[in-house]
Amino acid sequence: AQSVTQLDSQVPVFEEAPVELRCNYSSSVSVYLFWYVQYPNQGLQLLLKYLSGSTLVKGINGFEAEFNKSQTSFHLRKPSVHISDTAEYFCAVSGGFGNEKLTFGTGTRLTIIP
């Protein structure tokens, strides 16, 4: 079984400041990690994913995340946020092929302060 913990339910950040959204996972098998973004009253859009290879993953809209196996973390970062980044961010884990059910965290609401 796998699970995801997003410790911060809300993160306020000033515009153009850096941000880090935290995600820790638990899995007994190979782990594949994702970050999705959800704008108000919309579905989820994939930001980035870690399947294998380089532990630093770059995604859309200037976001990146680093897979850290020893700390079981997959934190999302952006060096300079914009008003348009205001949204809910979800970390998710999959057990991989044959066990590909995607399990989501509870989400982090990112609010950008002008």
Which CA distances in Å does 23 have to 7, 15, 35, 42, 58? 7, 22, 9, 22, 16
Instruction: State yes or no: residue 53 binds another protein (CB under 8 A).
Output: no
Binding of residue 107 to another protein (CB under 8 A) = yes
The reply on whether position 56 binds another protein by CB under 8 A is no
Does 43 sit near another protein (CB under 8 A)?
yes
SS3 102: strand
Among 25, 94, 110, 112, binds another protein (CB under 8 A): 94
CA 33 – CA 6 distance, rounded (Å): 13
Q: Could you tell me the two tokens for 80?
A: 């300079």
**Which residues here bind another protein, judged by CB under 8 A?**
4, 32, 34, 36, 41-46, 49, 51, 90, 92, 94, 96-98, 100-107
